[in-house]
Amino acid sequence: MMQINTGSLYFWGAIFLLVALFLLLREFLCWYWKINERISNQHEIIHILTAMNPKVPRPPVAAPNDDVSGKNIYDLTPESRHSK
């Protein structure tokens, strides 16, 4: 029979507890400071401003799971639009 090392059990338990605590506190703080609401308001503002002036191209919005390539996605110069 295999013995369980109590030191490693406490270590992994503490790591799991810290990660769970971080995720719970993050959700609470985002709710408390209304961060998600601010982001959705910013997207709505961009949509309204684009509708007011359709000549200005809408900047691309990176999804949270997109791979970050290091490019400036808000560079709206004509040269940058043709190189993509």
> pTM surpassing 0.85?
no
pLDDT of residue 42: 93
Q: How far is CA 35 from CA 20, 32, 39, in A?
A: 20, 8, 6
pLDDT tens across the length of the chain (84 residues): 567 788 889 999 999 999 999 999 998 998 899 998 999 999 999 889 888 887 766 666 665 555 555 555 565 566 655 554
* The predicted structure's pLDDT at residue 77: 62
Q: What was the pLDDT predicted at 5?
A: 85
Query: For the chain, what are the domain ranges?
Result: 6-63+71-82
Give the N- to C-terminal CA distance of the chain in Å, as an integer: 60
SS3 68: coil
